[in-house]
A = this chain, B = another copy of it.
Amino acid sequence: MVTSLAGRAESRTQAKILGLLRDEGPLSRAELADRLVVSRTTVAAETARLAELGLVSDAGPAASRGGRRSTLVDLGSGLRFAGIDIGATSVNVAITDGRLTVLSRASEEIDVKVGPERVLALALELTRKLAARQEVAKLAGAGIGVPGPVDFNGGLPVSPPIMPGWDGYPVRDTMARELGCPVLLDNDVNLMAMGEQHAGVAKTAPGFLFVKIGTGIGCGIVIDGQLYRGVDGCAGDIGHMRVEDFGPICACGNTGCLEAFFSGSALARDAMSAARGGRSPVLEERLREQGTLTAEDVGIAAAHGDPQAIQMVRDGGRRIGQVLAGLVSFFNPGLIVIGGRVAMLGHLLLAEIRGGVYRRSLPLATSNLPVVLSELGEEAGVIGAARLISDVLYAVR
């Protein structure tokens, strides 16, 4: 089947119909009229037009509500979004349907430091390959995440510390031109938070914090179901919060930053040092075999009961917990989700984080506060990216 998606919603009512169908699945015209507080005649006219545009289609008979049996309306089966998650060391792409279910995914390693031309070329190549495999003639839209601060309205990265060459590069507009569809750009952590809200553990949480522990550390802030970006769009930059007066020098030039103590790169550094210093037999052996060590090796060594590796995870969890305890006192969130590749260290890490949060925050703020691991893992970013663009096209925000 070749998807030929002619149009986009032409009115706010049309967009709102699409939004309801995305989040709740097929609905009858009567239900749509009730939910949107408009007449059934309006719904009939608007869904007819959406069907012409290929954006909705009929989906069998609805359950009877008395009277004439009506037909369910569903999102057009040809609606396709792309979610593109550019990380520090890889590009992840997914094609989703209109309800943001991932249909296919591809990822490839690349260092974001090689600059925007090469990274975006790879992102385009992966997207086009997936679209061709799925026989998508035209994408409805694409969301893109990058690992650094973003000027959301301008669609470009702003002084991103780990992305040399990307400062001010018109990522959104370049990709929109290449893909021929609407594109939005955001910080990768914000997108992971949106992904977790759409399809993960934060589905029913109106307000929560999503903490990504990857190469660096960042935080997505959701208030009343919406991302909070701060006045300059750089809210959530918790990797550079101070945990000690002294400590390893951070990429930002300061000492004592959280992510200089605990993050993917900090763990790799400490693992190398432990292996070379003979303090961890397991890491020493893995270094001999692989030539290098990453945060994952620390997780494997900890799972093997290596005391040094376990200590690294616990120290890191304690420091994350300490910072989060402060944020709980300040922000009083309803849920904290821990994600990112380093979060895959799992329950040993989570236990330390929880200990720190519950020990230090105001009792009132923690009495109903779950601190949990991400449910979506690597998919959080691409689902969030698709959600970002669909929110706009469906006028959910």
Contact = CB atoms under 8 A, between A and B. Distances in A.
Oligomer copy total? 2
A149 interface: yes
B235 A364 contact: no
A326 interface: yes
Interface in A249-270: 252, 254
A240 to B, nearest CB: 6
Given A322-B242, A326-B242, A158 B364 contact: yes
Given A333-B230, A367-B232, A368-B232, A362 B149 contact: yes
Contacts of A235: 330-332
B330 A364 contact: no
Contact of A241 (B230, B238, B329): B329
Interface of A is mostly: loop
A330 B228 CA distance: 11
A234 B365 contact: yes
A274 B391 CA distance: 60
B325 A231 contact: no
B233 A332 contact: yes
A159 interface: yes
Contact of A254 (B234, B237, B323, B360): B360
Nearest to A331: B235
A327 to B, nearest CB: 6
Contacts of A361: 240
Interface string A198-232: 00000000010000000000010101000011111
A316 interface: no
A381 interface: no
Contacts of A236: 330, 332
A334 interface: yes
A346 interface: no
A164 interface: no
A363 interface: yes
B237 A330 contact: yes
Contacts of A363: 159
Given A254-B360, A360-B254, A219 B365 contact: no
A226 to B, nearest CB: 10
Nearest to A334: B231
A223 B232 contact: no
A334 to B, nearest CB: 4
A237 B360 CA distance: 12
B238 A329 contact: yes
Contacts of A368: 231-232
B364 A159 contact: yes
A334 B235 CA distance: 11
B330 A242 contact: no
Given A207-B231, A223-B228, A368-B232, A240 B362 contact: yes
Nearest to A333: B231
A216 to B, nearest CB: 12
B332 A230 contact: yes
Q: Which 6 A-B pairs have the closest CB atoms?
A: A230-B332, A235-B332, A231-B334, A241-B326, A237-B329, A234-B364
